[in-house]
Amino acid sequence: MKATVHVMLKTGVLDPQGEAVRHALAALGFSGVEGVRQGKVIELDLADGTSEADVRQMCDKLLANTVIERYTVELH
Please report, for the domain that includes residue 38, its CATH number: 3.30.1280.10
Say what the pLDDT of residue 12 is: 95
The pLDDT of residue 41 is: 98
Q: Quote the pLDDT of residue 15.
A: 97
Q: What's the pTM?
A: 0.89
Domain that holds residue 9: 2-75
- Give the chain's domain count: 1
Average pLDDT for consecutive 10-residue bins of the chain (76 residues)?
98 97 97 96 98 98 98 97
What pLDDT score was predicted for residue 26? 97
- At residue 21, the pLDDT reads 98
E strand or H helix that includes residue 56: helix 52-58
